[in-house]
Structure 1
Amino acid sequence: MVSPSGRFARSGPRPDDRVASVFRFASELAAWVAAPWALAPRSVPLAVLSVVVLIGLPTVFATPGDKRGVLVAAPGFVTVALVGLQLVVAVAAAWVAWHAVVAALVTVLAVVTVVLELPRWRWLLTG
């Protein structure tokens, strides 16, 4: 839904996601570290590109009302998809790059992040 100002409008107030944001950031950090770590033995340019994509896309595309500084307004499903991408990359790359115990911890972190993100995702997808 696009508001008269041309921005994507959300219905209702934004849910409090301070705790979820801590877990979301930790998961993003895991993706930012694990992806290049997993890719570097195969291709250093791909490792660098993975970081550029994982950090750059969410920086550029955001849903108004969810983030203060929005460069390019995107509907809520784009924000949800970008978080999902980060989580999938964090888990997959951790299993490729790191010891199974660490990869299992990253997997648990991602699952907890999904559970905590559900209210925000519902809010982002309505509107």
Structure 2
Amino acid sequence: MFRFATELCAWVATPWALAGWSAWAAAGSVVVLIGLPTLFATPGDKTQVIVPVPGAVTVALVLLQLVAAVAAAWAAWPAWAAVTVTALATTCLVTERRRWGRLLGGSGG
């Protein structure tokens, strides 16, 4: 739930933050933030895998989403919204620990 909510913030805030600089960059950010995790997945983590990748790649893609959400929220939105997105991303870091541990081959405790 927290991961999806943070991803949604990234999908909205990143093109919003980039739109003033370049419409192409804004559109490209959506392709990267939605397309890469759709295309690349770790077998066993998703039911449908188009291009199988190691767990570290999946973790890196989630981290990309979290960083994009926070950075873009601070760049494009009022402080209260950026603080909310930052709190959401921080919560996501905590709730993803077990999954990331599994994806990286550890316990994830």
Residue 115 of structure 1: aligned partner: 94
- Larger C-alpha radius of gyration, 1 or 2? 1
Report how many residues are paired.
Answer: 106
Pairwise CA RMSD of aligned residues? 0.7
Q: Which of 58, 62, 67 is residue 88 of structure 1 equivalent to?
A: 67
Q: Report the Cα distance in structure 2 between the residues aligned to 1:61 and 1:83, rounded to whole angstroms.
A: 12
TM-score (norm 2): 0.96
Residue 43 of structure 2: aligned partner: 64
Q: Which of 93, 104, 107 is residue 83 of structure 2 equivalent to?
A: 104
Q: Which of 5, 14, 19 is residue 40 of structure 1 equivalent to?
A: 19
Q: Which runs of 5+ in 1 are unaligned?
A: 1-21
Percent pairwise identity: 65
Q: Which of 98, 105, 109 is residue 126 of structure 1 equivalent to?
A: 105
CA displacement at 1:99 relative to structure 2 = 0.2
- Matched residue SS, 1:109: helix
TM-score (norm 1): 0.83
Q: Deviations 1:47-99 (Å, cap 9, x if unpaired)?
A: 00000000000000000000000000000000000000000000000000000
Q: Which runs of 5+ in 2 are unaligned?
A: none
| Larger RCO: 1 or 2 (CA < 8 Å, sep 6+) | 1
Q: Report the Cα distance in structure 2 between the residues aligned to 1:41 and 1:89, rounded to whole angstroms.
A: 16
Task: Report the structure, 1 or 2, having the larger helix content.
Answer: 2
